[in-house]
Structure 1
Amino acid sequence: MFCEIPPSQYYSLDDSVNIISIKITESDVRYPIKVYGTVLARDQNDYRCVYLFKRGRDNPQLITRKNRMIDLTGPYRALNGTSFMYFEFHLKIKGKGAVDRDFSKGVRICNVTGDAHGQLRALPLESFLSRVDVMNTHLLLESILNGISKFHGKISAWTSGNDNKINLYDSELSSTKRTLGSGGSVSLSRHIVSVPRNEDLVLYIFARGWNNESKHLKLVLGHDVEEHTCKISTYVLQVKIIWKAVFRQDRPHMWKVFGGNNVLWVT
């Protein structure tokens, strides 16, 4: 059930960061390449690993050209948008036989304090055989979107004050789970979008029906909308939303927690 947040509690709402995409902008190895490994984020909420990309050697992603985005499946929760955030990269190229090569490995520290609201920024990491950019935006006073859908097509999301699109579902990607779940639902590849308290959630939906008819529509949904049903192509689409407020938590700086080290490695 939607619960209005009292104005007296606005001061304790936390800022957040949306991860728009992660793309490989440079590679010293000729394409195509098969990339696997992890990209994760840590914030001052609990400093635990929040995986943005995670693939094993037996399930690499095929990268065929420059500026290709890797298929994100996270984060699974809202990312804290105050002070510092840490992105850890440990990506490898699958080679022939059992010989693999380090492709991107290292840590980038992102200071989000004072960033302009909704401004798209690129956080690059140049290491080993590549340059990888994390495209992200800083949002103020956020809530959370979580939902499921049933259709063959694509869904992207953004907010009414920020048109940087986040891909939530693409049935053409090999990593997309197409198996129907309970009630005929299909899981989104990403489940969380940060939406400022004073903005609306915007969904763009593209669907292709059984007769190959293609349609698209745009939905603008306020914080008081928990469910919306519409017809698109040959589908009746039901969107369910769970809104949650994330409140600020006082945590020590990450460097203090890890004994002053300024470099962290995936373990």
Structure 2
Amino acid sequence: MDSPGGEVEATRLQKLMEERNNRVLVVEEQKENEEKEKTAAREEFYAKAMKEFRESIEGMGEPKEPYEQFRDHWMELWGEGGHFGDFEDNTAMPPMRFTLCGPRSGCTMDTLQFFYVKVASIDDSLQWPLDVYGFVAVRDVLDRKRNMIFCCDRDNCQTINQQDPYLALTGPTRGVAVSGDPCYFEVKLKLKGTAESEDKDFSLFASTYRPCCPKRMFTSKLSTLEMSFQELFNSVEATISVEVTDGSWPDGFRGEFSASTDNPPDMKVNLLKCVDEKLPAGADGKIQLTRRVVSVELDGFLKVSIIAHCVNVKPKICEAIFAPERCGTSFNSEIEVGSCRMKVTVCWSLFGLGP
């Protein structure tokens, strides 16, 4: 039989255990409530942060494409006050600015010589051939405006195929100067659809050119373009014209006119490629070249080549070589292709800032 003292002790221990368990339950409940409060506070904080973030994005509008960022950059630097005109303006600075002036009127400059622009690859969703229109331009320190390398509108788009993916260059319209300030390549090409509403962006970008990093491959939208160009040093501008002075272009031959310099010796600037046997000459005999402005290093030379092609006949090649001048005019009237006698004229000019 248990003693009364043992029963009292057991009761006291049981009470202590109940009190301990009650304290544990209270502490656990407090911890649970605190955790719920912390969770609610975190959720409220994140909800508020997300709301503020969404409101800031809506205030900014949609993120701008790099091309639009370039436009804003140009407007901020050179659009203020309208001194350089509008962003869409083409250069109004002509070639031959100092041809009739003295050799001290301008200066030689480093320049860019463009050889070709071709479509290196296209998106898998596209199929050759492609109808392309738009422009490829370069902006330099002389006036910050577009100097067109390639330009055609929708109604006169160029059809390119996988075998001949080269754009038909028509520029630059004057020499492209390189200086401490960067040049900018600007490209806006579209694909012509069956209706204008079905046209697609083919290439859209602006890229900075600096001599230390001459990038030549540009991927944008649905294509990758490859540009071939060369930086020339201490150079002058040469404007080329060709005139038929006697006779006529030989029947059955297609004409190809090009210019080259000793830097680089293996590259040429296409001045004209006749798609048929007709030579595009006016009533005055002047041939309508698609390109006519090139750059020449002052200690180098300029070579103008005329090639007559005919099926199953060896091409006829004629060349005229010129030593560059700071100003003035050079000509050669000894080029003959069959009975067709031609005179090549080169107008030399230095460079200068401003109008």
**Mapping of residues 184-263 of structure 1, within 5 Å:** 184-207=285-308, 214-223=315-324, 226-229=330-333, 230-247=335-352, 249=353
Q: 1:2 to 1:226 in 2, by over 3 A?
A: farther
The alignment's C-alpha RMSD in Å is: 2.6
Structure 1 portions without partners, runs of 5+: 116-120, 251-267
Instruction: Report deviation, 1:213.
Output: 8.2
Q: 2:111: which partner in 1? A: 16
Please tell me whether the aligned partners of residues 25 and 67 of structure 1 are also in contact (alpha carbons under 8 angstroms).
Answer: no
Structure 1 residues 122 and 23, CA gap change in structure 2 (3 angstroms): farther
**After alignment, is 45-54 or 152-161 more displaced?**
152-161
Deviation at 1:66, TM superposition (A): 5.8
Scaled by the length of structure 1, what TM-score is found?
A: 0.79
- Larger relative contact order, structure 1 or 2 (CA cutoff 8 Å, min sep 6): 1
1:87 shift after superposition? 0.7
Distance of 2:225 and 2:189 partners within structure 1: 10
Matched, 1:125 2:218: yes
Aligned to 2:177: 80
Matching residue's letter, 1:102: D
What SS does the corresponding residue of 1:65 show, helix, strand or coil? coil
Paired with 2:350 and 2:164, the residues of 1 have a C-alpha distance of 34
Distance apart, 1:139 and its partner CA:
0.3
User: What residue is the counterpart of 1:38 in the other structure?
Assistant: 135
Partner of 2:155: 58
SS in structure 2 at match of 1:145: strand
Q: CA deviation at 1:108?
A: 1.2
SS at match of 1:58: helix
Q: Which has the higher helix share?
A: 2
The structural deviation recorded for 1:182 is: 4.7
* Cα drift, residue 3 of structure 1: 7.7
Shift of the alpha carbon at 1:13?
Answer: 2.2
TM-superposed CA distance for 1:219, in Å, is 2.5
* Paired-residue identity, %: 25
Given the alignment, which residue of 274, 277, 288 partners 1:171? 274
Cα offsets for 1:117-138 (capped at 9, x unmatched): xxxx662210110001121100
**Contact 1:50–1:74 (8 Å) recurs in 2:** yes
> Is the CA contact 2:241–2:287 (under 8 Å) kept in the aligned structure 1?
yes
Check if 1:102 corresponds to 2:183.
no
Rounded to whole Å, the distance in 1 between the matches of 2:296 and 2:102 is: 15
SS of the residue 2:143 aligns to: coil
Number of corresponding residues: 235
- TM-score of the superposition, structure 2-length normalised? 0.60
Instruction: Determine which of 255, 261, 264 is the counterpart of 1:162.
Output: 264
Query: Relative to structure 1, is the Cα distance of residues 141 and 133 closer, same or farther in structure 2, using a 3 angstrom cutoff?
Result: same
CA spacing shift, 1:62–1:19, aligned 2, 3 Å: same
Rg larger in 1 or in 2?
A: 2
| Structure having the larger proportion of residues in strand | 1
In 1, Cα distance between equivalents of 2:315 and 2:108: 40
Could you tell me how far 1:191 is from its partner in structure 2?
A: 1.2
Deviations 1:167-203 (A, max 9, x none): 0111118xxx954325211121111110011011012
Q: Find the residue that maps to 1:184 and give its secondary structure.
A: coil
Determine if contact 1:202/1:219 at 8 Å carries over to the other structure: yes
Q: Structure 1 residues 123 and 213 mapped into 2: Cα distance closer, same or farther (>3 Å)? A: closer
